[in-house]
């Protein structure tokens, strides 16, 4: 099978005529429009590459909404490939200059990285670990909504791991900060790459251990206990939050 190319520019991806992500042939994009090409992985037998267009270059395609594309990805492999391509496109655009000396960054000779000729600093694609947690208490669980959510949507609690912090400590801290309760028996579920813009979501379950459920009013505008037979509008099925909630709904937590 021919190689496929996912095309992006300044953190955006492009749509093809059918509304999927653009996988153009390299030849169909004029060479002067191409700034960089990164290997992404395989879908079936096709090698996937992310092409970053030069800033200011225009091609006759619509820009894609990454969240919409991921929501209709056909399988785990396609999700992973789109997520990785999006993160490489974003990383390339946000790391053009050395953070130490300000010199222009060049491709690393061996690694998938950028390299500063002036001071030798290497810069790898950035990944930001986050915890995402479903707190349970017997037949009920905590779901909360951020002001950024669509109306009526509730989800699991989540937050970035701070410098020097373990994932488990972040679970305790974030839950206490966001909704005021304490948890115990924190246990790992699974992880998911989340390219908005470069998170790695580490999924956990935790048991309620005390305190009054109270939203902080900043990151969380409302938090409630929910029973299996009376759930609110939930996150889309491709998100790890949905997988955590589904485990609870199935009685597997």
Q: Which stretch binds Zn ion (CB under 5 A): 119-127, 141-149, 154-162, 225-233?
A: 119-127
Q: Is 142 helix (H, G, I), strand (E, B) or coil?
A: strand
> CA-CA distance, 53 to 42, in Å (whole number)?
21
Only one residue has tokens 């206990």, namely: 225
| Tokens linked to 5 | 């190319």
User: Which of 24/121 has CB closer to Zn ion?
Assistant: 121
Least distance (Å) from Zn ion to the CB of residue 92?
Answer: 17
Q: Is 166 helix (H, G, I), strand (E, B) or coil?
A: coil
Q: What is the DSSP letter of 211?
A: S
Least distance (Å) from Zn ion to the CB of residue 50?
Answer: 24
Residues between 62 and 101 with contacts to Zn ion, criterion CB under 5 A = 98, 100-101
User: Which of 123/192 has CB closer to Zn ion?
Assistant: 123
User: Which of 119/127 has CB closer to Zn ion?
Assistant: 119
Strands (E), 54-160: 63-64, 106-107, 114-115, 122-123, 128-137, 140-145, 157-160
| Tokens linked to 194 | 């989340």
Residues between 180 and 199 with contacts to Zn ion, criterion CB under 5 A = none
User: Which of 102/211 has CB closer to Zn ion?
Assistant: 102
Binding mask 98-117 for Zn ion (x = CB under 5 A): x-xx-x------------x-
228 binds Zn ion (CB under 5 A): no
User: Which of 123/199 has CB closer to Zn ion?
Assistant: 123
> CA-CA distance, 190 to 171, in Å (whole number)?
14
Pick one of 119, 122, 127, 218: the residue that binds Zn ion (CB under 5 A).
Answer: 119
Least distance (Å) from Zn ion to the CB of residue 197?
Answer: 23
Contact 214, 223 (CB under 8 A): yes
> CA-CA distance, 85 to 64, in Å (whole number)?
13
Least distance (Å) from Zn ion to the CB of residue 97?
Answer: 8
Number of amino acids touching Zn ion (CB under 5 A): 8
> CA-CA distance, 118 to 35, in Å (whole number)?
21
Residues between 120 and 179 with contacts to Zn ion, criterion CB under 5 A = 121
Least distance (Å) from Zn ion to the CB of residue 96?
Answer: 12
**Whole-Å CA distances, 242 to 98, 118, 143:** 38, 46, 11
Residues that bind Zn ion (CB under 5 A): 98, 100-101, 103, 116, 118-119, 121
């Amino acid at each position: 099978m021919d190689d496929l190319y996912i095309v992006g520019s300044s953190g955006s991806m492009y749509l093809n005529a059918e509304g999927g992500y653009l996988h153009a042939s390299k030849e169909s994009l004029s060479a002067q429009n191409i700034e960089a090409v990164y290997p992404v992985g395989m879908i079936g037998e096709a090698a996937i590459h992310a092409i970053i267009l030069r800033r200011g270059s225009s091609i006759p395609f619509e820009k894609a909404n990454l969240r919409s594309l991921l929501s209709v990805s056909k399988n785990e492999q396609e999700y992973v490939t789109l997520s990785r391509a999006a993160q490489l496109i974003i990383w390339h655009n946000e790391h053009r200059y050395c953070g130490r000396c300000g010199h222009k960054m060049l491709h690393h000779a061996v690694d998938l990285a950028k390299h500063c000729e002036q001071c030798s600093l290497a810069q790898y694609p950035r990944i930001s670990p986050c915890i995402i947690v479903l707190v349970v208490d017997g037949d009920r669980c905590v779901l909360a909504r951020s002001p950024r959510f669509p109306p009526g949507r509730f989800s699991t609690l989540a937050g970035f791991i701070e410098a020097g912090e373990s994932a488990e400590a972040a679970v305790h801290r974030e839950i206490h900060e966001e909704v005021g309760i304490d948890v115990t028996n924190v246990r790992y579920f699974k992880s998911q790459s989340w390219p908005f813009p470069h998170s790695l979501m580490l999924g956990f379950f935790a048991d309620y251990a005390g305190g009054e459920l109270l939203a902080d009013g900043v990151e969380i505008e409302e938090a409630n206990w929910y029973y299996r037979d009376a759930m609110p509008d939930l996150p889309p099925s491709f998100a790890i939050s949905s997988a955590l909630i589904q485990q609870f709904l199935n009685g597997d937590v």
